[in-house]
Amino acid sequence: MASSDMETYLMWVAGEEKPGEEELIPVEDPATGEIFAHCHAASASDVERTIALAQSAFESGIWSRAPRHQRADVLDKCATLLTAALPDLIALEVRQTGRAIREMKAQVPSLVRWFKYYASLLRVEEQPVLPTAGKLHNFLQRVPLGVVVQITPFNHPLLIAVKKLAPALAAGNSVIVKPSELTPLSTLLLGRLLKDAGVPDGVFNVLPGYGATTGKALVQHPLVRKVDVTGGTEAGKAIGGIVGGNLARYTAELGGKAPLIVFDAADVQLAVNGIAFGSFIASGQTCIASTRIIVQNTIWTELLAKLKEKTDSIALRMGAPSNLESMMGPLVSAKQLNRVEALVTEALNDGKAKVTTGGSRLHGFSPLDGTDFTKGYFYQPTILTSKENNSILQTRIWREEAFGPVIVVVGFDTEEEAVKLANDSEFGLGAGIWTQDVAQAFRVSERINVGITWVNTHHRNDPSSPWGGAKSSSGVGSENGIDAYHAYTTIKSTIINYASVEESLAADDWFSSSAGTVRYG
């Protein structure tokens, strides 16, 4: 069903809105199943033209060779204008993702930190002078790569776009973003905002479209010098194979199946609150969702009871995403809902798991505000445990990324066993440890094979703190921090000989008539 107040969004290319040649993309409200907008999509020809414009802007030097303090000022202006646009951005983000507005009111305002951080980095970055032998001055510069492509997912459209954009723009690149076809709209609004902040035409572009057409045309183009993607592992591998063929740079933040260990030295209620946040924020649709809860058997009964109580309280307060009192929204699409349902049903039907609470799609009406759950893609926050012994370890829901509000709880007796369970995954993005024993926290964090470990907290994300995986299924490279900025640059080494003419004539004439000593290197 389509909404009567439907709006059609155009692509953003070289500082203006432009139509795309592919069929319009319908954009659905996950809470109602209603199509509320359409979005133009880029064809292969659109991609070709946009890359040419982005390359032309790069070669002109209007941004790529602009003084670093000028770029920093523009990024600061981006932060200011983003703050002014928050009400519209938050409302649109809620509508297209189905995320609860209380989440978006917390997340979207934080994005200004990325623009401010990389603006500050530009102002304080030092350029090394190397101790080269001889009368030589050898200095290093970080210079931009050229045209870079960023592919962003449906779960955090603005957050992940800004995380990628800020370092890429700071470095001086020309950027083309392909947002998820499920949630492309808020990223398009960044076009006008960045232009008003002073980003030159052609330096920032947004090309919505599907991966098989728009995405493929972008990542395989020979002028693209870097691709930065957040998405699923299989898609990341496929894109990496294409990018590698062009010898371009590649960063990929891919799948996760985060373990969260609770030791008996933890404060149980604090841990329960942390599990609920780590597991059910964004309806579990995050790459670092704490989906594998590993609990010391000495506190198993107490923790499970309190976790069930907390989970049930969330379910009772689910409603319209636009309701400030709603705790959790729907999944993003029917496809995502069906995947979660299939994984849970399989684990139960195989006799490997049992339901502590939840376990099915929501039907009927919300006790909070009367929202008709049947129209949207709402799934109950769910806790699964083993039917017997640790039988749930044999299920797909233990190993595969469900991307939904479903957690698996297993027990352990020893620290060694906890570490083994935590590392029992092909993924290695994030992990959580809950304990008040600081020595234990240090000991265990060193042994968990992930890129990010949180102790007595979860999902902390700061522009200065690297964000990336430790195993290939969770990607390559990292976002955030100085490393992300460096990944959007290449090193340029300049060596200046300041010896006198006489000294150089004596030392640097390789083919002189005499057979004297000559240098090499």
Instruction: State yes or no: is 253 an active-site residue.
Output: yes
**Residue 73 corresponds to which amino acid?**
D
Are 307 and 275 a contacting pair, CB within 8 Å? yes
> What is the residue-wise DSSP string for 133-164?
SSSEEEEEEEEE-SEEEEE--SSSHHHHHHHH
Instruction: State yes or no: is 164 an active-site residue.
Output: yes
The distance from CA 487 to its chain's CA centroid, rounded to whole angstroms, is: 16
User: Tokens representing 355?
Assistant: 């339901």
Cα 252 to Cα 149, 153, 216, 451, 471, distances in angstroms: 12, 12, 15, 13, 12
Closest CA to 100 of 278, 348, 314, 339: 314
The SS3 of residue 503 is helix
User: Tokens representing 40?
Assistant: 């133009």
In which element (H, E) is residue 38 found?
A: strand 34-41
The SS3 of residue 457 is coil
Instruction: State yes or no: is 78 an active-site residue.
Output: no
Are 78 and 115 a contacting pair, CB within 8 Å? yes
Question: Distance (Å, rounded) from C-alpha 368 to C-alpha 356?
Answer: 23
Catalytic pick from 77, 164, 195, 226? 164
Catalytic pick from 39, 287, 310, 341? 287
User: Tokens representing 106?
Assistant: 């917390």
The residues near 125 (Cβ < 8 Å, ≥ 6 apart) are 68, 142
Question: Distance (Å, rounded) from C-alpha 215 to C-alpha 207?
Answer: 9
**Residue 149 corresponds to which amino acid?**
V
What does DSSP say about strands 2-9 and 34-41: parallel, antiparallel, or unpaired? parallel
Instruction: State yes or no: is 48 an active-site residue.
Output: no
The SS3 of residue 88 is helix
Question: Distance (Å, rounded) from C-alpha 331 to C-alpha 459?
Answer: 19
Catalytic pick from 28, 103, 181, 479? 479
Are 176 and 54 a contacting pair, CB within 8 Å? yes
> What is the residue-wise DSSP string for 311-364?
HHHHHHT---TT-TT------S-HHHHHHHHHHHHHHHHTTSEEEEE--SB--S
The residue with tokens 């880029």 is: 42
- Which residues are part of the catalytic machinery? 164, 253, 287, 479
